Amino acid sequence: MFCRAFACALPLAVLATAAIAGAESSPQDMLRGLYAGYDRTHAHSNHVDVHGLMTPQLARAYAKVTRAVPGDAPVMAWDVFVDGRNHDIEHLNLTAEADGKSRTVTAAFDNQGLPVTVVYSFARTSAGWRIDDIRYPPDRAFPKGFSLQAFAHHAG
């Protein structure tokens, strides 16, 4: 009896393990989930697990620039995912490019009626795909563009 139950359970366990492994989020799926959490009543800090989204190096950089110093505001006082302090995201479009062990996904959307482009560099880690940098193309606020890795490096 035990052997028959074990023999029936083993293939189910193998299938379940394979399904879990195959269910790993793609970079685009991760970003769809991230932006789905943006509505008019929630800020990113309420729904973003940076350790689940970012490489350890980028998560440390992000924590460094978003941590408030007693008596002062954080160095980065805007939401890096929407390139602004406020958000009303519409018309999200994600485009991806693959390059070996890395992926680049460009998120284009309207934030409060203004066009925004955020470029995500993803790296393959032992935990799956993780964001390794967040960049903006050059604009008025950042004439040379923006990189979260570079910003954090220069901030401290």
The candidate with the shortest Cα–Cα distance to 134, out of 18, 55, 72, is 55
Instruction: Please report which confidence band the pLDDT of residue 53 belongs to, taking 50, 70 and 90 as the band edges.
Output: very high
Tell me what pLDDT residue 36 has.
Answer: 86
Residue 10 in this model has a pLDDT that exceeds 50: no
The angle that helices 148-155 and 56-66 make with each other, rounded to 10 degrees, is: 50
Dump pLDDT digits (tens) for 21-47.
Answer: 334 689 999 999 899 887 655 554 445
pTM of the predicted model, to two decimals? 0.78
DSSP E strands, 10-100: 89-99
User: What is the three-class DSSP state of 39?
Assistant: coil
* Strand, helix or coil for residue 83: coil
Helix (H, G, I), strand (E, B) or coil at 136: strand
25-155 maps to which CATH number?
3.10.450.50
Q: Where are the domains of the chain?
A: 25-155
d(CA 76, CA 65): 5
Element (DSSP H or E) covering residue 32: helix 27-36
Whether 89 shows a pLDDT value over 70: the answer reads yes
pLDDT of residue 42: 55
Neighbours of 103 (CB within 10 A): 20
